[in-house]
Amino acid sequence: MTFSKLFLKECIEVIDGLDDAIIEQMAETLADTRKRNGRLFLIGSGGGAGHASHAVCDFRKLCNIEAYAPYDNVSELTARVNDEGWEVTIINWLKVSRFRSDDCVFVFSVGGGNHEKNISMNIVKVIEYANEIGAKIVGVVGKDGGYTKKLGDAVALIPIINPDHITPLTEGFQAVIWHLLVSHPKLQVNPTKWESAR
């Protein structure tokens, strides 16, 4: 079997292993956030930060949800890393934005953050604060889901199909799931360009 065939086969197994009820719960949580005039903050590091930036566009443009990606401003990010430290880069950004209980945080992370092992503490601190103030937490994570899965309200877990492909499959399906969400009838308000041009 070629590598391409193997990887695509693993993708099929991921789809078969996804919990669609959790994804529906994510859609409900996001729709409720919009109904309450809450805002959506999308966070992640590495590939997750890139996903957050793209997803913000989709949630704003297609779903009329006020959405932001804290890491989009590289000047503020690097100033905060330099002056305050990596762990508080997102949480301090959110505090300036008056992050509140009506808001929702959407996490894109492979491991979901781990407090005990001091991994992805920038995400862990946001999850702790969101829980403290009563804001909702949704996300798409891999491995065991980490802190995000443990404390989140509706968090999709990408099943481990091949331990050698946890990161690429998780990050690939993060994009699939957020595109599912912005296409969901409970969320999508405005049509996409090519579909509306038929």
Element (H, E) at 42: strand 40-44
Provide the residue type at 143 as one letter: K
Q: Which of these CATH numbers, 1.10.3720.10, 3.30.1600.10, 3.50.50.60, 3.40.50.10490, describes 22-188?
A: 3.40.50.10490
Q: What's the pTM value of the predicted model, to 2 decimals?
A: 0.96
C-alpha closest to that of 144 among 130, 128, 160, 131: 160
Q: Distance between CA 7 and CA 20 in Å, rounded?
A: 22
Domain ranges of the chain: 22-188
Chunked in runs of 10, what are the mean pLDDT values of the chain (198 residues)?
97 98 98 98 96 98 98 94 95 97 98 91 97 98 95 98 97 98 97 80
pLDDT of residue 122: 96
- What local confidence, expressed as pLDDT, does residue 115 receive? 86
Give residue 126's Cα distance to chain centre.
12
